[in-house]
């Protein structure tokens, strides 16, 4: 299974400003490009901070004249690498309470921006695309199960699994791998089994 990376979802042409960019120019860029924040970069295109709409509003309310990006920005910039999984990027956003991550190359130069809006696109995948990935990648290619023995239904990102597998221990693996498919919101497990090979006392919480 190939999971989407930051490089797959980021906006590759990032709008950025310099430390000396004035308040009004930053506000104009946010409005013109319909974005909520913009990275601040140094002369080598390394992100040094981020200016958000909230930063602009805070400074405007404070009434401190017309400050520059260096005076407004939140620093240091929380960045992501293009090879990161989208799950890792989402966790970093949540941990730092940010809505956008500047994406940098191996040299630390800005190459794009990933936003929460970009991550939401994963959950807009068509149900048929999700079903095809589960059947072809999870069941057939990864687990080498017969797709004719199992039924996979996907409605609004919710996957319902039914049918019978040979061994009970396979069931939590199937459920876990389905959860890992991009765009899956939840997995309803209705799978049965022919042989109970689950060790006594093993947790079966994933078999739900």
Element (H, E) at 163: strand 158-167
Given this model, what pLDDT does residue 61 score? 53
Q: Is the peptide bond between 168 and the residue preceding it cis, with omega within 30 degrees of 0?
A: no
What is the pLDDT at residue 205?
Answer: 41
Provide the CATH number for the domain formed by 6-122 in this structure.
3.10.580.10
- Residues 80 and 102: beta-carbon distance below 8 Å: yes
What pLDDT score was predicted for residue 65?
63
Torsion of CA 189, 190, 194, 195, to 10 degrees: 40
Q: Options 3.40.1410.10, 3.40.50.10420, 3.30.1340.30, 3.90.45.10; which CATH number does 125-195 get?
A: 3.30.1340.30
Residues of the chain with CATH 3.10.580.10: 6-122
Query: What is the DSSP secondary-structure string of 108-139?
Result: S-EEEEEEHHHHHGGGGS-HHHHHHHIIIIII
Taking 50 as the pLDDT cut, the residues of the chain under it are 205-208
């Amino acid at each position: 299974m190939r999971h989407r990376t930051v490089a797959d979802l980021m906006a590759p042409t990032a709008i950025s400003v310099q430390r000396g960019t004035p308040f009004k120019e930053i506000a104009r860029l946010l409005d013109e490009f319909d974005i909520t924040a913009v990275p601040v970069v140094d002369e080598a295109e390394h992100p040094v901070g981020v200016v958000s709409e909230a930063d602009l509003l805070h400074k405007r309310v404070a009434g401190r004249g017309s400050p520059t990006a260096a005076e407004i920005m939140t620093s240091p910039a929380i960045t992501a690498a293009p090879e990161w999984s989208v799950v890792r990027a989402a966790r970093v956003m949540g941990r730092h309470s940010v809505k956008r991550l500047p994406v940098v190359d191996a040299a630390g130069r800005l190459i794009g921006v990933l936003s929460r809006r970009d991550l939401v696109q994963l959950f807009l995948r068509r149900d048929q695309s999700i079903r095809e990935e589960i059947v072809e990648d999870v069941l057939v290619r990864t687990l080498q199960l017969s797709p004719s023995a199992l039924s996979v239904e996907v409605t609004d990102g919710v996957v319902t699994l039914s049918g019978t597998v040979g061994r009970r221990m396979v069931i939590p693996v199937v459920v876990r791998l389905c959860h890992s498919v991009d765009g899956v919101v939840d997995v309803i497990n209705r799978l049965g089994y022919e042989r109970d090979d689950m060790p006594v006392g093993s947790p079966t919480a994933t078999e739900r």
